[in-house]
Amino acid sequence: SFAQSTLHLHTDQADTKINKEIYGHFAEHLGRCIYGGIYVGENSDISNTRGFRDDVIVALQDMDIPILRWPGGCFGDTYHWKDGIGPKDERPSMVNIHWGGVTEDNSFGTHEFLDFCDIIGAEPYININVGSGTVQEASEWVEYVTSSNVSPMTDLRKKNGREEPWDVKYWGIGNENWGCGGNMTPEYYSDLYNRFASYCGGARYKIAGGPNIADYNWMEVLMQKTMRHPHLVQGVSLHAYTFTTSWENKGHATDFGEKEWISVLNNTLNMETLVNRHSTIMDKYDPNKRVGLIVDEWGNWFNVEEGTNPGFLYQQNTLRDALVAGINLNIFNNHADRVKMSNIAQTVNVLQSVILTKEDEMVLTPTYYVFKMYSVHQDATLIPSNLKTGKYKLDGKSVPNIHASASTKDGVVSITLCNLNPNESESIEINVTGDDFASANGQIITSDKMNNYNDFGRQETVSLKDFDVATPKDGKLTVELPSKSVVLVQLQ
Ligand code: AHR
Q: Which of 347, 379, 411 is the last residue of a domain?
A: 379
Percent of the chain's residues with pLDDT above 70? 99
Statement to judge: residues 388 and 365 lie in one domain:
no
Amino acid at 209: G
Q: Is residue 77 part of a domain?
A: yes
Identify the pLDDT of residue 57: 98
The set of residues, in sequence order, having a beta carbon less than 8 Å from that of 264 and lying 6+ positions away, is 242, 243, 244, 251, 256, 300, 320, 324
8 A C-beta contact, residue 237 and residue 179: no
Q: Is residue 276 part of a domain?
A: yes
Q: Closest residue (by CA) to atom 3 of ligand 1?
A: 73
Three-state secondary structure of 263-319: HHHHHHCHHHHHHHHHHHHHHHHCCCCCCEEEEEEEEECCCCCCCCCHHHCCCCCEH
Phi, psi for 305 (deg, rounded to 5): -60, 140
Q: Is residue 473 part of a domain?
A: yes
By residue count, the chain amounts to 492
From CA 41, how far away is CA 53, in angstroms rounded? Answer: 9
Statement to judge: residues 340 and 472 lie in one domain:
no
Statement to judge: residues 363 and 402 lie in one domain:
no
Mean pLDDT of 46-53: 98
CA 312–ligand 1 middle distance (angstroms):
11
Mean pLDDT of 402-431: 97
Statement to judge: residues 276 and 159 lie in one domain:
yes
CA nearest neighbour of 367 among 316, 305, 302: 316
In a 13 Å sphere around the CA of 421, the CA atoms on its Cβ side amount to 19
- In angstroms, what CA-CA distances link 349 with 22, 127, 316, 346, 381? 21, 20, 9, 7, 32
Pocket (CB within 6 angstroms of ligand 1): 28, 72-74, 175-176, 297, 345-346, 351
Identify the pLDDT of residue 333: 98
CA 17–ligand 1 middle distance (angstroms):
29
Q: Is residue 14 part of a domain?
A: no
Of the listed ranges 140-154, 226-240, 447-461, 467-481, the one predicted with least confidence: 467-481
8 A C-beta contact, residue 31 and residue 314: yes
- At 123, which helix (H) or strand (E)? strand 123-128
Statement to judge: residues 413 and 446 lie in one domain:
yes
Statement to judge: residues 313 and 418 lie in one domain:
no
Q: Which of 351, 379, 407 is the last residue of a domain?
A: 379
Statement to judge: residues 368 and 420 lie in one domain:
no
Identify the pLDDT of residue 204: 97
8 A C-beta contact, residue 199 and residue 135: yes
From CA 98, how far away is CA 297, in angstroms rounded? Answer: 17
Statement to judge: residues 127 and 223 lie in one domain:
yes
From CA 91, how far away is CA 146, in angstroms rounded? Answer: 22
Is the pLDDT reported for residue 410 higher than 90? yes
Statement to judge: residues 32 and 118 lie in one domain:
yes
Q: Is residue 361 part of a domain?
A: yes
Statement to judge: residues 143 and 233 lie in one domain:
yes
Identify the pLDDT of residue 438: 87
CA nearest neighbour of 390 among 398, 378, 382: 398
- What are the residue numbers of the active site? 176, 297
CA 333–ligand 1 middle distance (angstroms):
24
Identify the pLDDT of residue 435: 66
| Structural domain boundaries enclosing 347 | 19-379
Q: Which of 338, 356, 379 is the last residue of a domain?
A: 379
Q: Is residue 132 part of a domain?
A: yes
From CA 418, how far away is CA 122, in angstroms rounded? Answer: 27
In a 13 Å sphere around the CA of 225, the CA atoms on its Cβ side amount to 22
The set of residues, in sequence order, having a beta carbon less than 8 Å from that of 302 and lying 6+ positions away, is 243, 244, 250, 251, 252, 253, 315
The set of residues, in sequence order, having a beta carbon less than 8 Å from that of 280 and lying 6+ positions away, is none
Domain total of the chain: 2
Substitution site in 177, 180, 351 for ligand 1 pocket (most atoms within 8 Å of beta carbon): 180
Statement to judge: residues 92 and 33 lie in one domain:
yes
Bridge pairing between strands 24-26 and 385-388: unpaired
Substitution site in 28, 247, 342 for ligand 1 pocket (most atoms within 8 Å of beta carbon): 28
Q: Closest residue (by CA) to atom 6 of ligand 1?
A: 73
Q: Is residue 430 part of a domain?
A: yes
CATH code: domain of residue 327: 3.20.20.80
Tell whether ipTM is more than 0.95. yes
Residue 235: strand pairing partners: 207, 292
Statement to judge: residues 135 and 37 lie in one domain:
yes
Is the pLDDT reported for residue 434 higher than 70? no
CA 431–ligand 1 middle distance (angstroms):
41
Tens-place pLDDT, residues 309-364: 999 999 999 999 999 999 999 999 999 999 999 999 999 999 999 999 999 999 99
Residue 402: strand pairing partners: 419
Q: What is the DSSP letter of 246?
A: B
- At 51, which helix (H) or strand (E)? none
Is the pLDDT reported for residue 375 higher than 70? yes
Q: What is the band of 2 on the pLDDT scale with cuts at 50, 70, 90?
A: confident
Amino acid at 327: I
Q: Closest residue (by CA) to atom 2 of ligand 1?
A: 73
